[in-house]
Each structure stands twice: as structure tokens, then as C-alpha cells.
Amino acid sequence: MRAAREALSSAQSYGIVVTGARDIGKGAFQTALVRSLAPDMYAQTLRSTMGGTETPYGALAPFLARLPDDALENPAATMRGILELLSADAAGRRAVIALETPGGLDELSTATLVNLMTTGTAKVVVVANRTSDLPQDFHWMLTEGRIREIQLDLLPEDKTEEVLGEVLGGIVPRTVARMLHAMAHGNPELLYRIMSDFLQTSQLRSTDGVWTLSEDAETRRSREIDDVVRSRVERESPEVQTVIEALACARRLPLERITSVFGVDVVSVMDEAGLIAVEENENHSVSLSDPVMEEVVRGWLSIPRRRELRAKIIGNQEPSLASLGVVELLGYAAWTRECQTPLAPSHAVAAAGAALRLHDPHFALDCLEDVPRSTATWATVQLLRAYAYLALGLPVQAHLLLEQVTEEELESIGPVAYAHFVEAMAAVKRSTPGRDGEVAAVFEEARARLLVNSGLSEAADDEVRNARSVLDLAEFADAVYRGDHARVIERLEAAAAGTPGGDDELRLRSACLLMQAQVVVGREDEALATLHRISSELAGPAGTSRVRQDFVSRGFDVLLFNGHWRQAVALVRSAGFETVPSLRFAGAHYEFASGLALVYAGRGSDAISPLLAAIAQLEQGNVRATLGCAYAATAFAFAQQGDSAAARTYLDRLEGWSAPTSYSLRSSTEFCADMARRWIGERGASQRLVEAAQADIAAGRWTMAGIRLVGATVESGSEELALLEEVCAHRQGALADIGRRLARGTRLRELQDLVTASDLAAGLELDTLESRCTAVALDIARDTGDVRAARILQARLDRLTGLVEVLPVVPQSLGPLLTAREREVAVLAARGESNRTIAEEMGLSVRTVEGHLYQVFSKLGITSRAELAGLL
């Protein structure tokens, strides 16, 4: 808007052309621009409603209707009459003509508009999809810069988040902004209409200042959008409309299939009009270029029409699974479900598995809804359903589904499939209240069954060996879930190394567990090395979606417990949640992870928004395992800000929460809660941190013990500091070095250790930890009379005070103080006054002034008046 107004106000400009994709809002922009010009400029909006270019002066009909008959005798008189009318209407103001439909301009309208511009009578605001749509006479003006192009682009995700924050106020979670961006496909006009519609229907609502979307928000569309799409589609030929409907239903089809059914000519016309997009893959898949058109058209088609199109394109035969990619498979499954036609069991199972990998458990359940019970496949069907219910936070239902599988159905599946079933059963029992104690028996029974069946079945040795590897992996995951990392770490190292001919996916999943175990038991550097090794293989065939999910969730702990909090946040943000269902499913966890990383980094003020966003979304759903940690982290974030009342509010919420959860979440919950209580001065919090650290030490979890002790030793004595130093001796990495130097420097009053610890913390951008090391070092420097070090440390602490809202440690030693007379002399000297001037002003001798300045310089550890000016 600013660029457009600047161009129109320039004396050298003839006007502007507003370009952009279809339905991006060019007309709305032009209307807003015209309104903003009043009353300083006179604007006349013209709409060329005549078809083609055959009607003379078609775009200027409003002017022709007002001209006298003699002005219509010849083109020169008509042009002169239009110029006079426009000048009279403008009444001395600058005139602007806004032209909405330049594509159908006739020659006389074009010539008149060019004359208006070149004579300075009026400037023109033209709307076009692209500059090539303009009449030829306009092109030289564009080339010479007399007409400026104002291009409207799609909104990027970060800009969408910024816009929504400004419009709505409060906290707009990043994932909510991304969902709205995905729904509007970056189109600002659609974003505005969708947001307005959602606000009116309360599908977008504010809870405690946080904006959230209702469960079915993405399935509804504004009537205005529906009308816009309908008018666009109805302008096309019947043949093109049929292809649009077919692609809307199928989502994506091979180019060969489209051309064989509808003909090459129709597809070529659509390609030239920009209605379709053709991918450069093996099948040259074709889809509608406008996703909004696809969704809206699909919404208005009746079930008989969907079935008719399905029969026309694919007939009564199911496409082979080998010919379908993931997108094609999900599109085919959705189309079949929308036709209320049962999916073949093989296609239903494959589509459900793909939907779960893309974080869409609801669609996975839809695909499996009509699958008949069969001995050979029922265990797999129930397994997929159980994972879907587990993802939705419904472990009781998931457990019931797995329990319904009979012995006969289990015996009918192969050893590897059975091992995966046991893996799911263990995960479900861990998440089901009251069932956690049954997991060990599940593994014991499974190993006994494999041992017996390996001699009775016809399964190959490799298959039995892979089944045992799956069971091993399930037991490793169970041990890590419980915090028993030290017990399985040697076996994990062997599994992560792999064996010739072994399953690479199992090897990488074992490596993901290994790096999490390594970072917990104090082998932080090794954990980082394992993380980098896994990341180098993610792009290969072994980097399946399951491996990538494990890598993100477990790699987050590795980076966080190494102090690399920025990389931890970046890892979560790169997890690839692109679709609305995946954002809805994983959005709360994404916000939570970002907030937790910021809290651990001591940046409570930055952490509050994502944590509140996570809580609002977690409370709206059924997933409770993460909610307690979100409460604790939010309490800690408010405590870091010095807001004790808000911190206590979330600690109270934590008291009312309970759910089965992993050691990783449980330990973070306890740590954040105890740190919040210690920060706001609650008695016993430091002791609880020490006791929890001792339990970690007993289990070999040296890293978490060290993190707890760093928090506990703010107020503790030399015994706890000695314990922290001992714990850090069992660890690796920069955080261990910081903890060791902090403990030794504080306990033995070693200034250099504390300065080094402060430097290391600064390198990791851990401002709160840096401020603690600096404050303790400043006390020691002052107490020992090291004035130069004290001056440097004070300047450092002053800088950190602007970053850390509440210092965890405040310097206690006042250091060398200036007397009142010394301060008076110092202030005058800092202003640049000479010793003689100071002596005359204060009634002292020059020698006395020199003596006072000597004491000032000595106490402050400086040698020049320039340095003095910087201190006073």
C-alpha cells in the first residue's frame, strides 16, 4: 500500500499495475487503495463487463453515458469530452482511474486511457494477473518505469504469524498460525476470510489469552470462498469442469490416466490456463494448482457424482499398491471413503499406516472402520488402531483393542509381525494407568513364544532373528522410558553397531535410544557424536519416518543436556509438520519443546508464550503425559521473571495433575517444579533437588544429577558443592566443565575457575548461569582486593542484568568504597577538570586533591581519568 501510494504521488509516474495470483486479493487491495486516496485525490473505478474487445469504449461506458451527442461524432471529440468530464469531476484534485478488468480492453478505451496518462489528466491503477495480460500500449510505460508494478505475493509462514499476532492480540501459537497458513495456502485474502469466519463461529477462540482452533476447524469453509471458487469453475467449459471435479476427488492422478480418460486437448487447455500442476516424477502426477479450489469443489460434490467420477477413472478394479505413492494412496483412500465404498483390506491397512506416519490418527481410524475380521490380518488391524488411539491420548481404548486379539490370530502372523505387536502392547500398557507393572511379563511371554515357535514354524532363521531384534529394541525402549539407561547401554551399543545383513531401521532406532542413554549417563560428547552419525544416514533408505520421529524426540534431549538449546529448538522446528492434521496432532508438543528449551536456558520471558500456547492446546485434547511438565516449566518461567503469584498458580495446577509418563518428562517436571519453588523462596526445594540428584547418582544418571545440583547449590553449603564437583567428574562436555568449575570455584574461592565457567556459559548463551558464575566471582574479586578483575566482572554483570530479569545470585561484598570527599573529587575529575580547578572549587590544596585521586585510582583499579569517566 505504501509503495502504491508513493508511485501515485510521483510526478514522473503514470500509475501502477497490481499483479498476483488468482484470488490473492488484488481487487480488495485496489478497493482499499482507492479509499485511502480520498479526499485528497479523486478516484473513478471502471469495470469492463463487456465480453471481448469488440465494444468501442466498453471500459469507459460510465463516461459515454454522460457525454452530449455532439461529443460522440468522432473519436477525437469523444476523447476530448471524456478528458473534460474527468477534469470537472476532479474539481482541481489529482485524478485516478481504477481499472479492474484490463484483459478485455478495446482499442479506443486503451487509446483514451493512454491519452489520460500522458497528458497528466489522470493516473491509472490497473489490476492484472501478470503484466503480460496488459494491452501492448502499456508495455513501454512499464519498461521505462512510468508505470510501477505492485506484486502481491503469498504470505510466508513467519509473516502469517506476525500478521495474526497484530490482528488478534494475545498469544497466537506458532502452530495455530501454521495451521491457518496451511488452510489459506498463504493467500492473504483467504486467510482474512477464513479467520473472520472462524471468529464468528467460535472455531477460533481465546482461552486465557491464547488463541486455539477447534477440532473441526479445517473442515469448514466460508460461504464467500465457496462463491468465489464456484464462479471461477463455472466460467470454464463443461469438459474442464469435469476434470476439475475428478482431480478434486482423487487429489492426484497420473498424467497418462487423465489424458486417456479426458483427452490431451482438455488437459493442454488446463495446463495453459494454470489450472493444473504436473510433477516431474515417474508417473507425472497431475493435481489442481489451487488447493483451495480442490477442497471447495470436493465439498460440494454429491456422493453419486463422486462414485460416477470414480467409476469413470478407475472402474471397478483396485489400483495395485505398488503403483501408488504415499500421497496417491491417501488420496485414493479418502476418495473411496467419501464415496461410501469399502476399501480393500490391504489398501485400508496400507493407508492407515501411512496416515499414522503423517500424524493423522483420525484418518487412520477412518480407513480401518469397515475392515472385516480375518484371522490373517486382524492382529495388524488392531495394532494400527491401538497406535491411533494412543496418539489421541486414549490408552485404555488402545489396550482394549489389543486384548481382543485371540491366540489363533496371533499365531497366524509371522515372528516379526508378532514382535511388533508385543512392542505396541508394551507401549500401550506403559501409558495405561494401573497396567505398567504388566510390561515385564509381556516381554517374558513373548520370548518364550518365539523360542517355542522357532522350532515348530516354517519361518526362516533370519526372520526369527529379526523378531528377536524387534523385541530387544522394545525392551531397550522400555528401560529408557523407566530411566534405567545404565542397565541396557552396553547392549544398545551392540545393537546400534548392527550386524551384517541386519535391519538398518532397527539399527538406527537403537542408535537413537543409545544417544539418549549416553547423554543421561554422563557421556554427553559421545551422545553428540552418535547424533551426528545418525543424522548423516537419515536421507538414506534406512531413514524411515519412524527413525526420523525417534531422532527428533530423543535428539532434543541430547542437544538440550549438552547446553545447545538453540539447536534443540531448531531440531523440533525442522520436524516436518506440514499438514493441518499433523500440526493439530503435534503442535502442542512442538510449542512445549520450544518453551522447555528456553526455560532450561534461563530465558523465562521468552518461554512463557510457547508454554502457555502448549498448555492451551494440551488441555483441549486428551494427551496428558506432557501436560504436567508444561505446568512445571511455566511455573519455572514465571519464577525466572520474579512473578511468584503466577508461578504458584501453575504449581497448584501441577498438584492436580497425574498421568503415566517417561523418566525424561518426569525428571524435567520435578526439576522445573523444584527450581520454581526454590526461585520463589519456598523452603525445602533445594533439599528435594539434592535428594533427587542422589537417586539419579544411584542409577548412574550423572547428567541429570549434575543439572539438579547446579540448581540446588545456589543456597547450599560446601558439602553439596563437593558433591556437584564429584558428579561432574563423571560427565563430559561443556556443561560438566561449567558445573565442575562453578562448584570448585565457589567452594575454594578460586576466581579463575569461576571466570572460566562464566566464559563457557556465555559461549552457550546461558545468561542466567553466566550471571551466577559472574556474581560469585565478583564477590571473590572484591573480597581479595583484585580491583581490576572486580571492575571487569561488574561490567559483565551489569550487561547481564539487562538480560536476566531476576539474578539467581546477587553479589554480597560491597568491595572498596569511596569516601564522600573522594567521590566529590572523582566526579569533578571525571568531568575533565584539572587538579588546580578542583582544588580551587573545593577549597583544598592541589597536593590534597592529588592524594584523593591516588586513593580513588587505587581503590577502583584504574590508571586514567578516561577510565574514571566510565565508572562514575
Give the residue from 225, 271, 218, 282 showing the smallest Cα distance to 244.
271
97 located within any domain:
yes
683 located within any domain:
no
Give the residue from 480, 481, 549, 444 showing the smallest Cα distance to 495.
480
Q: What is residue 609's predicted lDDT score, i.e. its pLDDT?
A: 92
Buried b (16+ CB within 10 A) or exposed e, 716-743: beeebbebbbbbbebbbbbbbbbbbbbb
Check whether residue 448 and residue 523 sit in a common domain.
Answer: no
Half-sphere exposure of residue 825: CA atoms within 13 angstroms, side-chain side? 24
312 located within any domain:
no
Bridge partners (DSSP) of residue 368 are none
**3-class DSSP state of 286:** strand
Q: Is residue 841 a contact partner of residue 812, using CB atoms and an 8 Å limit?
A: no
Q: What is the CA radius of gyration of the chain?
A: 36
Q: Is residue 487 a contact partner of residue 475, using CB atoms and an 8 Å limit?
A: no
For cell 502442542, the residue is 588
Threshold 0.85, pTM exceeds: no
Check whether residue 523 and residue 586 sit in a common domain.
Answer: no
Q: Is residue 367 a contact partner of residue 344, using CB atoms and an 8 Å limit?
A: no
Check whether residue 11 and residue 95 sit in a common domain.
Answer: yes
Check whether residue 7 and residue 131 sit in a common domain.
Answer: yes
372 located within any domain:
no
846 located within any domain:
yes
Q: What is residue 753's predicted lDDT score, i.e. its pLDDT?
A: 95
Tally of structural domains, the chain: 6
Check whether residue 561 and residue 530 sit in a common domain.
Answer: yes
Tens digit of pLDDT for each residue in 445-504? 998 888 776 654 555 677 888 899 999 999 999 999 999 999 999 999 999 998 887 889
Query: Cα(271)–Cα(289) distance, rounded to whole angstroms?
Result: 9
Query: Cα(142)–Cα(14) distance, rounded to whole angstroms?
Result: 10
Residue 109's identity, in one-letter code, is S
Check whether residue 171 and residue 73 sit in a common domain.
Answer: no
306 located within any domain:
no
Check whether residue 75 and residue 201 sit in a common domain.
Answer: no
Cell representation of residue 165: 499476532
Check whether residue 626 and residue 543 sit in a common domain.
Answer: no
Check whether residue 30 and residue 140 sit in a common domain.
Answer: yes
Last residue of a domain, one of 515, 547, 569: 569
Q: What is residue 52's predicted lDDT score, i.e. its pLDDT?
A: 45
Check whether residue 165 and residue 54 sit in a common domain.
Answer: no
Q: What is residue 459's predicted lDDT score, i.e. its pLDDT?
A: 58
Q: Looking at residue 436, what DSSP letter applies?
A: G
CA–centroid distance for 477 within its chain: 27
247 located within any domain:
no
Name the percent of the chain in helix, strand, coil, to the closest 5. 65, 5, 25
414 to 62, 179, 421, 504: CA distances (angstroms): 79, 41, 11, 20
Q: What is residue 602's predicted lDDT score, i.e. its pLDDT?
A: 92
Check whether residue 89 and residue 172 sit in a common domain.
Answer: no
Query: Cα(37)–Cα(39) distance, rounded to whole angstroms?
Result: 6
**3-class DSSP state of 806:** coil
* N- to C-terminal Cα separation, the chain: 49
CATH number, domain containing residue 57:
3.40.50.300
707 located within any domain:
no
Check whether residue 490 and residue 624 sit in a common domain.
Answer: no
Query: Cα(802)–Cα(850) distance, rounded to whole angstroms?
Result: 36
Query: Cα(192)–Cα(207) distance, rounded to whole angstroms?
Result: 21
Last residue of a domain, one of 569, 596, 623: 569
Structural domain containing residue 434: 397-480
Residues in the chain: 872
Q: What is residue 384's predicted lDDT score, i.e. its pLDDT?
A: 95
Query: Cα(94)–Cα(274) distance, rounded to whole angstroms?
Result: 38
Last residue of a domain, one of 605, 639, 665: 665
**pLDDT beneath 70: ranges in the chain:** 23, 48-54, 101-104, 216-224, 283, 453-460, 576-585, 622, 716, 813-818, 859-863, 867, 869-872
Half-sphere exposure of residue 81: CA atoms within 13 angstroms, side-chain side? 20
CATH number, domain containing residue 850:
1.10.10.10
